[in-house]
Chains A and B, each alone.
Chain A
Amino acid sequence: MKRTNLEIVGVGGQGILTSSQVIGKAALEKGMDVYMSEVHGMAQRGGVVWTTVKIGEKVYSPLIGSGEADALLSFEPIEVYRALEKASKDTWIVTNISPIVPFTVSVGKEEYPDVDEMFADLEERSDKLLKIDAEKLAKEAGAAITQNIVMIGALTATEVLPVSKEEIIASIERQVPEKFVDINKKAFELGYEEAKQQMNE
C-alpha cells in the first residue's frame, strides 16, 4: 500500500490540529498506521501552524520532504505559498481563499501580495488546484467556525485520502460535540460538493 502524505497549513486558531486528528483517527480506525507532527506552544498565538499527516501500512517518520505531499491543504491563501516546496505537480493543492491578514501588514510594515495574481501563477503550474471559499460555505452551513470541516470536505472530494467519505464523516461525528454534529456534517458536504464541482469543470 502506498503511503499518503498530507501537509495541512494555516494560522493558529483555525482548527488545524482538530482537522489533522479527524483524518488521522479515521485512518487508524481502518487499521492503518498513522504518524503525525504538530505545532504546539508559542506559534499558536496567531502564528503559522502546520501539521503533517502520514498514512500507510507502516509509517516511519513524522515529517515529509520537498515535493513529497500528496495533498497540501491550506486554510489561508498565502500560507499555501509558504508551504509550496512540499508540493509537486502531482500534489492536490486545496486552499481556502479568505485571507487572514498578519499584523505585520495591518501595521503597514509589510504587504499582503495580490492573491489573484498568485493563484493565476499557481494555476499555470498545477492542474490540481482547488480554491475554496470556506468562510462563505461555513456561514452557509451555519457557523463560520466550521471552515476547517469545509476544507476537509473539499480534500475528501479529491479522493487522495486512503479513507472514504463515510469514514471521514464518522470520524467527525466521533470528535465534535453532539450538538454541533449536524452543522459540521453540512459544512463537510458543502466543501465536498464545491470541490467536486470544480474538479468537473
Chain B
Amino acid sequence: MKELLEDEPGKKILLLGNEAIVRGALEGGIGHGSTYPGTPSSEIGNTFEKIAKDYGMYFEYSANEKVALETAAAAAASGRRAMAWMKHVGVNVAADALMTLMYSGVRGGLVIVAAGDPSMHSSQNEQDNRYYSLLGNIPMLEPTTPQEAKEMVKYGFSLSEELELPVLIRTTTRVNHARGVVTFDEIKEPADIGHFDKDPARFVAVPQNSVKNHPKLLEKMGKAEEITEESDFTKVYESQEPELKVISSGAGFNYIYEAKEEKDLPISILKVGMSNPLPEKKISEFIRDAERVLVVEELEPFLEDKVKALAKDVNPDLEIYGKHTGHFSKLYEYDPDRINEALSKLMEVDPGKEPLDVKEYELPSRPPSLCPGCPHRATYYAVKKALKGDEAVYSSDIGCYTLGIQDPLNATDYLLCMGSSVGAAGGFSKNTDQQVFAFLGDSTFFHSGLPGLVSGHYNQHDFVYVIMDNRTTAMTGHQPHPGTGKTGMGDPAPMASIEDLARGAGIEFVETVDPYDIEKTIQVFKDALEHDGISVVVPKHPCALIEQRQVNWEKFQVDQDECKQCHICTNQLGCIALVRDGDKVHIDETLCVGCSQCAQVCPFDAIERGVEQ
C-alpha cells in the first residue's frame, strides 16, 4: 500500500474504493483520521494503519464512532483537515455529536465518510444514510466510482472549509468494495499541527449559544444551495431525442449509465453528485419540458420525493417513475438486471443473452462460520454444558461470535446492534424468569458494552455477562483496540483491563478462563450461574487466525476403531474441520489447526494428534 504515497500525478492504478478514499485524503492534506472499523468502510483504516506514519498525519482507532467523530471535530476546530469514517450504522452511534457539531461547524475541513450496505452483505440493516443530511443540515456528496470517491474526499475538505461545516460523503458497498482505475493527482503535505482559538459562543453548545448558532447553520446551508447548482459532480449525460429522462445518484447510476452507453438507449441522465442541498434549479430545468422521468437510486425515494415536489411547480403533468410506481423497490442494491427490468417497462430494451437453462438443484447453503480453532466455539460449547440442558436466553452482539447463531451451537437469540447484548440481557432478566446470557467481544465491550454493565449492576440485573476476549477486532480484519496494547499507528499503548473495569463497576464475580481448557471453562460457567446479580466471565484466548500465524500444532485425526459414532463432536461442537461421511466422522487435515477442542469433547478418546494414514 506504500504505492498510495507515491507523488506521481497522472499515474493510473487499480484501487479499491476504500483505498481511493485514502488517496483522496492524502491529496487533500489530511492531518487527522479516526474511525471505528465496520464493513464496508474497514479498509480505509487498514490502509491508514500502514501509511499514516510515513505520510506524517495522526491516525487512531477510537473506541467507537462517536469518539472517532468527536476527536475529528476537535482536530477540525483546531484548524486541521480531518476525516472520520464509519459504516452506515456507525453514524447512528456518532449522531448525537454530529447533530450539534453542525451548529458550531469547523475551521479545518472535516469529511465524514458514511459507508452504506444495501443488500446487507455484512450489516444488520440497510438504512439509507442520506436522510442524515436532511436531519442535520449536512452538505452531502455521493460518489459513484472509486475515482469519484477520491475526488470527492479531496474536494470535501475545501467545501467544508468554504462552508465551515462538516461534509458527509455517503458511499455504498459497490463504491467502497469496487475496484477501479484511479488516476493520481498531486499529494498535499499533511496539515500542520493545529491550534484551538477559543470562541465559546460558537463552540460551547449551551442553549443561549445554540439559539444563535442554528440560524447560522441555515445561513451556511443557504450558501451551499448556491454551490450545489455549480457543482461539477452533478452532470447531464445528454441524448439527442430522449424518449425518457433519468435522474440518479450513487452506485445505481453506474448501471443506468452503462445501459445508455452500451445499449445505445435514447435517454438523458442527470447524475446528482452533491445531493444535499439538491440542485433544485438544475433538476427543475431538467424536468421542465420532459414527459417522463425515471428516478434511479438505491434504497429510499430520497431524490424521487424531491423530484415530485419540484415537478408540482415546474411540470405538474410530468410522469415520475420510481419506487412510488413500482418500477423499483426500496429493497437491496441494484444491478444491471434490475435496471433492465425497470427500463423495459418504459421503452424497448435489448434483454441481453439468455441465461443457461439448467436443472435446478437444491444446493446446500454455505453461511459463514466460526473458523477451525476459534475460541468462541469452545466457549459456547462450555455454556451449553454448564446449563446441562436447561433453557437460557442468549443475548448476543456484533462480531464473529454472532456466528454462534449457526448449527449446532444455536447460541444467539436476540441481537440489535453494537453493545445491545448487555442492555437486552438486563431487560430479559427483569421481565422473564429465564436464565440469561449476554455475549460480546472485547472490542465491542470497549465500543458500547460498558454503559450496559454499569447500568445493569446499578439496577441489579441478573445475568451472565460473557466478554469473549480474543485480543483483537476480528470480524473486520484484526484491528487493534484499547485492550490490545497497540495503537492504530503501530505504537505501544497502555492496555485497558476488562476485568478491572468490571470490578470497578462493582461486579463481584469476575472470572477469566482460557476456553481452550473446556473442562475448566464449564466449571467457571457453573459457578457464574450460581451467583446472583451480574457475573462477568472473560473467556480469553487469541483469535485462531492470529494465533495460527505463530504456532504450528500437530493436527488431529479420528481413530476409527475407537470412535463410537456418538457424534458429540459434530452435533455439539460442530467444528468445520469435522466432516461426516455417513455415520463416520473424519477430520479434514487442510482445515484442522490442532486446537484440541474436539479431542477434549470426545468421551471415547477417539480423537488424537497425528495425521490419518
Which A residues lie at the B interface, using CB under 8 A? 3, 11-12, 20-21, 24-25, 28, 33-48, 58-68, 78-79, 81-82, 84-91, 101-113, 118, 121-122, 125-126, 144
Contact A36 B369 (CB under 8 A): no
A118: nearest residue on chain B (CB-CB)?
B361
Contact B177 A34 (CB under 8 A): no
- State the CA gap A90–B354 with chains docked (Å): 10
Contact A67 B177 (CB under 8 A): no
In the complex, the 3 A-B pairs of residues with the closest C-beta atoms, listed nearest first: A41-B39, A65-B336, A41-B122
Decide: A35 near B177, CB < 8 A? Known: A11-B366, A21-B14, A107-B407.
no
Contact B356 A39 (CB under 8 A): no
Contact B258 A113 (CB under 8 A): no
Mask: chain B, 383-397; 1 = CB below 8 Å from A; 0 = not: 000000000000000
Which B residues lie at the A interface, using CB under 8 A? 12-14, 16, 39-40, 42-43, 121-122, 145, 174, 177-181, 254-255, 257-258, 261-262, 335-337, 340, 352-359, 361-371, 400, 403, 406-408, 475-477, 570-571, 574, 576, 578-580, 590
Decide: A104 near B366, CB < 8 A? Known: A62-B174, A67-B354.
yes
Show 8 A/B contacts (Cβ-Cβ < 8 Å), sorted by A: A28-B13, A34-B181, A36-B14, A43-B122, A46-B369, A68-B353, A106-B580, A125-B358
Decide: A63 near B363, CB < 8 A? Known: A34-B180, A86-B355.
no
* A16 CB, min distance to chain B CBs, angstroms: 13
Contact A37 B177 (CB under 8 A): yes
Contact B122 A36 (CB under 8 A): no
* A132 CB, min distance to chain B CBs, angstroms: 18
Contact A107 B580 (CB under 8 A): yes
Beyond A79-B366, A84-B358, list 17 extra A-B contacts (CB 8 Å). Answer: A12-B368, A21-B179, A38-B16, A40-B122, A41-B39, A63-B255, A63-B336, A67-B352, A67-B355, A85-B355, A90-B353, A103-B406, A103-B407, A104-B366, A107-B408, A108-B570, A121-B359
A38: nearest residue on chain B (CB-CB)?
B177
* B312 CB, min distance to chain A CBs, angstroms: 33
Taking CB atoms, residues of chain A closer than 8 Å to B590 are 144
- State the CA gap A46–B545 with chains docked (Å): 13
Taking CB atoms, residues of chain A closer than 8 Å to B262 are 3, 60
Decide: A68 near B336, CB < 8 A? Known: A38-B16, A144-B590.
yes
Partner of B366, one of A48, A58, A113, A126: A48
Contact B361 A24 (CB under 8 A): no
Partner of B254, one of A3, A41, A61: A61
Taking CB atoms, residues of chain A closer than 8 Å to B261 are 58, 60
Contact B368 A43 (CB under 8 A): yes
Q: Please report whether the interface of chain B is mostly helix, strand, loop or mixed according to DSSP.
A: loop
A90: nearest residue on chain B (CB-CB)?
B353
Decide: A113 near B337, CB < 8 A? Known: A46-B369, A61-B257, A106-B570.
no
Most buried by A among B181, B408, B571, B574: B181
- State the CA gap A121–B574 with chains docked (Å): 33
A63: nearest residue on chain B (CB-CB)?
B335
Partner of A112, one of B14, B364, B476, B571: B364
Contact B181 A41 (CB under 8 A): no
Contact A107 B363 (CB under 8 A): no
Partner of A25, one of B14, B356, B369: B14
Taking CB atoms, residues of chain B closer than 8 Å to A11 are 366
- State the CA gap A60–B364 with chains docked (Å): 34
- State the CA gap A37–B578 with chains docked (Å): 33
Taking CB atoms, residues of chain A closer than 8 Å to B371 are 45-46
Decide: A102 near B336, CB < 8 A? Known: A41-B475, A125-B358.
no
- State the CA gap A107–B406 with chains docked (Å): 11
Contact A66 B257 (CB under 8 A): no
- State the CA gap A128–B576 with chains docked (Å): 34
Partner of B178, one of A36, A45, A79: A36
